[in-house]
Amino acid sequence: MNLTAGSLRSTLLLLAVFCGGCVTLERSYPADQRYFMIEAQDGKSLSSEGTHILSVQNLYISPRYADRNFIYRTSETEYETDFYNQFLSEPATMISEEVRQALAATRLFKIVLGPSNSQPANYLLEGSVNVLYGDFRNLRAPAAVMEIEFLLHNENPTQNEIVMQKRYRRSVPLSERTPEALVKGWNQALAEIIAMFVNDLDQREL
């Protein structure tokens, strides 16, 4: 069925009104997908080197945020996914590796292992990424939001217990609504979460 000129104009007007309600980053969509990585700065070395071995398991991530597409929160109940801006690999994989590297750099533990290493460890660290999104509910105050919960086990056969379980959440204000600014915000959030976790561990004198 052919549309008349008037009908076509009406259809385009309705489409424009509908799309006007969508929240997007301040950019035009690129022709191709763009890929980004989460990279936390290395943690600062502590004054003394630890004597224990830590095994860091791959973090679990909530199915809500496990997709590689960026996720934006646009209201109290609505979220959007961005097909054009994605993580280079699964976010849980990237964040797990950054946590391992950052903990190793602090020297809080003598050795920090990955899950593929079968060497016996004194402590086992598990965790979950509970929240990972760009908060655009207020377009004048966008933020990068991340929440991680850590669970530290003592692997000593005579003291097999949970040493520490704590949840850390950061919301980092963004200077602009761009993919680059959002990733920098996530990077800062992860670095701050790791720093708080390391400080808590250091206070326990493992």
Q: Is residue 13 assigned to a domain?
A: no
Distance CA 141, CA 64 (A): 23
Distance CA 72, CA 80 (A): 5
Distances (CA, A) of 64 to 7, 70, 154: 40, 11, 30
Q: Is residue 29 assigned to a domain?
A: no
Q: Is residue 54 assigned to a domain?
A: yes
Q: Is residue 124 assigned to a domain?
A: yes
Domain that holds residue 56: 43-204
pLDDT of residue 175: 93
Q: Is residue 38 assigned to a domain?
A: no
Q: Is residue 78 assigned to a domain?
A: yes
Question: How many distinct structural domains can be found in the chain?
Answer: 1
What is the token pair recorded at 192? 């701050």
Distance CA 148, CA 125 (A): 12
Cβ contact 92:21 at 8 Å: no
Q: Is residue 111 assigned to a domain?
A: yes
**Tens place of pLDDT per residue across the chain (206 aa):** 444 545 444 444 444 433 444 455 655 555 689 999 999 876 666 666 789 999 999 999 999 999 999 999 999 999 999 999 999 999 999 999 999 999 999 989 999 999 988 889 999 999 999 999 999 999 999 999 999 999 999 988 777 789 999 999 999 999 999 999 999 999 999 999 999 999 999 888 77
How would you write the chain as a 3-class SS string?
Answer: CCCCHHHHHHHHHHHHHHHHCCCCCCCCCCCCCEEECCCCCCCCCCCCCCCCEEEECCCEECHHHCCCEEEEECCCCCEEEEEEEEECCCHHHHHHHHHHHHHHHHCCCCEEECCCCCCCCCEEEEEEEEEEEEECCCCCCCEEEEEEEEEEEECCCCCCEEEEEEEEEEEEECCCCCHHHHHHHHHHHHHHHHHHHHHHHHHHCC
Q: Is residue 25 assigned to a domain?
A: no
pLDDT of residue 25: 63
pLDDT of residue 166: 97
- What CATH code is carried by the domain that includes residue 81? 3.40.50.10610
pLDDT of residue 31: 61
